[in-house]
Structure 1
Amino acid sequence: MSDFDMDDEDYGLQYSDDSGSEPDVALENQYYAAKALKSEGNQSAALTSFQRVLELETEKGDWGFKALKQMMKLTFSMGRFEQVLTHYKQLLTYIRSAVTKNYAEKSINSILDHISGSKNKELLQKFYQITLDALKEARNERLWFKTNTKLGKLYFDMKEFDKLKQVLKQLRNSCQTESGEDDQKKGTQLLEIYALEIQMYTEQKNNKALQQLYDQSIHVKSAIPHPLIMGTIRECGGKMHLRNAEFDKAHTDFFEAFKNYDESGSSRRILCLKYLVLANM
């Protein structure tokens, strides 16, 4: 369950010495009154009550941010996607100074993870683009990279390869040194990029590009990648070695791919087992 689904009421909140002041108490009371309505299943009244939190704010702060998160949850569950986007745009205006950087990053990550389960590709594209636009000003490179990677994966799913190439170019540029070479200090990010490129070129059957990407991938040292990323890279290597009749190397890569897919819970582990058998024949 993501943070977006949970009630992380105290996470990231910073109370000052005068947190008992009347405006703060009024905001807090209004917020919990709205939550009570939500718990009772009175969604329309809850939305109105959360909106009242925003109206009571004299300046942007934690309670308004939290109210907007709740309003997003409600409108998303109600299928009011345009309203979800409206609330999200408003929430993003809080990330520069109204809430802590860590709280903002955790919240946005969890929101995007939750939204990514939607089958509405147009909605997802808007969410990612709105986030990227907001992050240009916030200068949060880590969150920018994660969001752009999600957008790239969406374009891959949509087979929008020209748009995917543009995203990959941006991601590549963010992981290069001043001399234009891949920054090996950003090994984990580089492997994410390589894996996404491998998926694209596999779909396009560009074996020459796949060979180059695989060679680049195995030379990355300083990285702690997700096992799904390594599964993608090793599967690519296994297929490449199989085409070249390098059966021992193919066996090694398919076995590593299987282990990584198994660890990540990916169903592609079954396919790699079949390739393992083929490499042994």
Structure 2
Amino acid sequence: MEDYYYYEDDYGDEEGESQDSALGDAYSTAKSLMGTNPLQCVAGLLAVERDDSSGGKWTFKSLKALVKVSRQMGAYEDMLRYYERVCTFNHKDVDKGSLQKAMTKFIDESQRVPVDYLGRALRTTAEVTSRDLKAYSRLWFNAKVKYATLLLDANDVGSVISEIEPVLAWCKEEDPLGFKKGSQLFFCYALLLQAYTVGRDWKKVRDMFFSTISIVNTIAPSRVVGSVLECGGKMYVCYRDWQSAFQTFSAAFRYYNEGGDPRRINCLKYLVLTCLLSGSDVDLFAAPETRAYEEVAEIVPFSGLVKAYRRNDVQRFLSTADLVRQCFTAEPAVLVCLDLLLDNLRLRALVAFASPYERLSMQRLQSVLLVDKDEVDRLCLRAVSEGVLRAKLDNENGVVIMNGESEVGPETERLLAFDRWVNALHEFNKRSYKDIERNL
């Protein structure tokens, strides 16, 4: 009797192996049709799932293949339905490592799926993995960050912040296993920084920027570092710290360029404007890394802007500035740069044009600077107060009279003294600001 049971059990094992082999053959046959006959592939995979009475590994493999073929066919609702079953699959033959591998592969291969469906898949992934962060922490983090990135692309600032906050809290938790989360923290800060920049909350941008660049012992991708520095540059533009803005945009451009990121073109535009506003004499397009972009259609107006500014050519600057404004319709903070540059250019042109003369008609200056009389008055007063032009205004006769240093009157001296006081206060403020930055 014992021998009878022994052989009966052995026969049962052989029967199970035979069924497993048949399911494997059916799965392979169905999967091979994925590229040539996707509908037949779907039918074959569903048959494998139906015939797998144990609902084990062949069901799991079939579901994964159904996700893939549905994506290829553009049947995204079916894709999500099968993917949700993959995420929640529970069987002794399929461990957590296999589940994580399947979900990770799906996310990596689904970047071209329409945004709405990709967002739903990422939400499903984040929800499922959040139930067991000990096993799925990396996958949960990646799903949350990718979903927040989609929200950022849609300019949904509030949702980005609410999506990242729990991830940020997780990054800051004490990890008993010694898992270093500096890189994850950097990614979170970078996303929040971009969200605050889109929302133009410059106070939060400033705080987040210094928090981000203070993270050490992490090596982030060039594109992420570039985006952080670009946000910092825009913040400096808002605070009109042109030198810091120029240096920060310069670093951002280098990172974008190293990573081959297309955002380098837009960053180069900011770099050109802040270079001029900082008073730097650097010829940006003389460097090998920027020379290659001088003839790019989007950069040509900016190259022309630099040439017009260096030559004090107001007419050419104005015509070129109109083209530049079209590049920044959604960037009011940067549009201010053009107005400031134009004002600086007119001041430079005024000083350069007036220098050889002893008396100069205001009407003549109006035609040179392309402004009205009131604006000429303002520019002359600014030039005198900044000490770049020794002159006085004769409004009765409509002329500007150039003076030697010994001929400067008490009113002009008062203006010059006031200007020196303002400049000293401004320099003190800048030094204090940088000291505070270093201590943050």
- The residue number in structure 1 matching 2:58 is 63
Which amino acid letter does the alignment assign opposite residue 166 of structure 1?
S
- The residue number in structure 1 matching 2:258 is 263
- The residue number in structure 2 matching 1:125 is 119
What CA RMSD, in Å, does the superposition of the two structures yield over aligned residues? Answer: 2.6
Are the structure 2 counterparts of residues 271 and 120 from structure 1 closer, same or farther at C-alpha, using a change threshold of 3 Å?
Answer: closer
Aligned with residue 134 of structure 1, among 120, 128, 153: 128
Q: Secondary structure at the match of 2:21?
A: helix
Q: Secondary structure at the match of 2:193?
A: helix
Q: Which has the larger radius of gyration?
A: 2
State the alpha-carbon separation in 1 of the partners of residues 65 and 90 from structure 2.
Answer: 16
Instruction: Report if aligned partners of 2:33, 2:40 keep a CA contact under 8 Å in 1.
Output: yes
Aligned with residue 204 of structure 2, among 205, 209, 218: 209
Aligned with residue 195 of structure 2, among 180, 183, 200: 200
Are the structure 2 counterparts of residues 44 and 258 from structure 1 closer, same or farther at C-alpha, using a change threshold of 3 Å?
Answer: same
Give the alignment of 1:1-281 within 5 angstroms: 21-39=17-35, 41-94=36-89, 98-121=93-116, 123-139=117-133, 140-177=136-173, 185-281=180-276
Deviations 1:45-82 (A, max 9, x none): 21111112222334454433332222112222222222
Instruction: Report if aligned partners of 2:115, 2:150 keep a CA contact under 8 Å in 1.
Output: no
Deviations 1:134-178 (A, max 9, x none): 213343111001101112112222333332221121111111236
TM-score for both structures, normalised by structure 2: 0.54
Deviations 1:230-256 (A, max 9, x none): 111111122223344444433332222
How far off its partner does 1:210 sit?
Answer: 0.3
**Structure 2 residues not aligned, in runs of 5+:** 1-13, 277-440
Which amino acid letter does the alignment assign opposite residue 259 of structure 2?
S
Instruction: Report if aligned partners of 1:34, 1:49 keep a CA contact under 8 Å in 2.
Output: yes
Are the structure 2 counterparts of residues 136 and 42 from structure 1 closer, same or farther at C-alpha, using a change threshold of 3 Å?
Answer: same
**Structure 1 residues not aligned, in runs of 5+:** 1-17
Which gives a bigger RCO, structure 1 or 2 (Cα 8 Å, sep 6+)? 1
Query: Which stretch shows the higher mean deviation, 60-69 or 203-212?
Result: 60-69
TM-score for both structures, normalised by structure 1: 0.81
State the alpha-carbon separation in 2 of the partners of residues 264 and 188 from structure 1.
Answer: 18
Identical counterparts, % of pairs: 30
Are the structure 2 counterparts of residues 159 and 242 from structure 1 closer, same or farther at C-alpha, using a change threshold of 3 Å?
Answer: closer
State the alpha-carbon separation in 2 of the partners of residues 48 and 189 from structure 1.
Answer: 42
Are the structure 2 counterparts of residues 114 and 91 from structure 1 closer, same or farther at C-alpha, using a change threshold of 3 Å?
Answer: same
Instruction: Report if aligned partners of 1:50, 1:71 keep a CA contact under 8 Å in 2.
Output: yes
Are the structure 2 counterparts of residues 61 and 231 from structure 1 closer, same or farther at C-alpha, using a change threshold of 3 Å?
Answer: farther
Are the structure 2 counterparts of residues 60 and 232 from structure 1 closer, same or farther at C-alpha, using a change threshold of 3 Å?
Answer: farther
**Matched residue count:** 257
Instruction: Report if aligned partners of 1:184, 1:220 keep a CA contact under 8 Å in 2.
Output: no
How far off its partner does 1:212 sit?
Answer: 0.3
